[in-house]
A = this chain, B = another copy of it.
Amino acid sequence: MDTLQIINTLEKVKQQNPLVHNITNVVVTNFTANGLLALGASPVMAYAKEEVADMAKISGALVLNIGTLTSDEIEAMIIAGKSANDHGVPVIFDPVGAGATPYRTETSRKIIDELSISILRGNSAEIANVIGEAQTIKGVDAGKEAGNTVELAQKAAKMLKTTVIITGKDDVITDGETTYVVHNGHPILTKVTGSGCLLSSIIGAFTAVEKNVLLASISALSIYGIAAEIAASNKASDGPGSFQIELLNRLATISAEEIQGHIKIEKL
C-alpha cells in the first residue's frame, strides 16, 4: 500500500462526490455533514423507515452510528442495512458507547447479527464489549486503553468476519489476516465531540469509491489524521473551538504534498 494509492483514492472521492447515507446521532449530524462536504463527498441523513431502503440503495455507502439510538432508529438501521446489503452498498458500523449500557451492547450485536458489515469502527472499549471481552467504558468515551489493541482488533475481525478498525492513540486496521497501524492524528481530537463519528462517515466516503476495503480504510484514517495534525499545528493552541473549525478547513484543502510529508503507516 503506497502513498500514491492513497492520494489517488482521495482524488476519486473529490471527483465522484459519493453520496454517503448516514443514520447517526443527533449530536454530530452537522459536523459530520460539513466534514463530508469539505472532503468532497455528498452527505445525506435519512431516518424514516418509509424511505431508508430507497436512500441506502442509491448511496455509495451507508454509515450506522448508535450514539443516540432509539428503538425506531434501530429499526430504520436494520431496514437500511438490508437494502444496502442487497444492493452491494458497503455498510460501516460505529457502535458508540457499546458497553456503557446493556441496551447499547445488545443493539450492537443485533446489528452485526442481522446485517453484513463491511467495517466495524470503534475505540478499544467499544470493540471489546461488542465481542464480549471485559473492558470498561465511561459513557461514550474510551477508558484507558488496556491490553493489546492489535490483538483485540484481530480477534474481533476473525470472530465477526469483517474488517475492524480500532482508533485511539494509534489506529489499527485489520481484516484478521493483514494488519496495518496508522500513526497519524492528534490528541486534541478527543476534545471535539463527534471526531470519531465523522471519521466513520469519512471511511464510508472512501469505501464508496474504492472496493479494496483496507486501502479505503487506510486512506481515510491517514488523511483524516493528517488533516487533524495540520489543523492542530495551526490552531490547537487557540483551543478546541478553533481547532474544530480548522479541521473542516483542512479536510477541504489537504494536498498530495501534505499527505506525502506526514503519512505514517506501518504494516505489521
Contacts and interface: CB of A to CB of B under 8 A. Distances in A.
Interface in A13-43: 17, 19, 21, 25-31, 33-34, 37-38, 42-43
A138 interface: yes
Nearest to A103: B51
B26 A103 contact: no
Contacts of A63: none
Copies of this subunit:
3
A55 interface: yes
Nearest to A235: B249
B48 A138 contact: no
A43 B191 CA distance: 11
A212 interface: no
B245 A249 contact: no
Interface of A: 17, 19, 21, 25-31, 33-34, 37-38, 42-48, 50-51, 54-55, 58-59, 67-72, 97, 100-104, 138-141, 190-194, 238-242, 244-250, 252-253
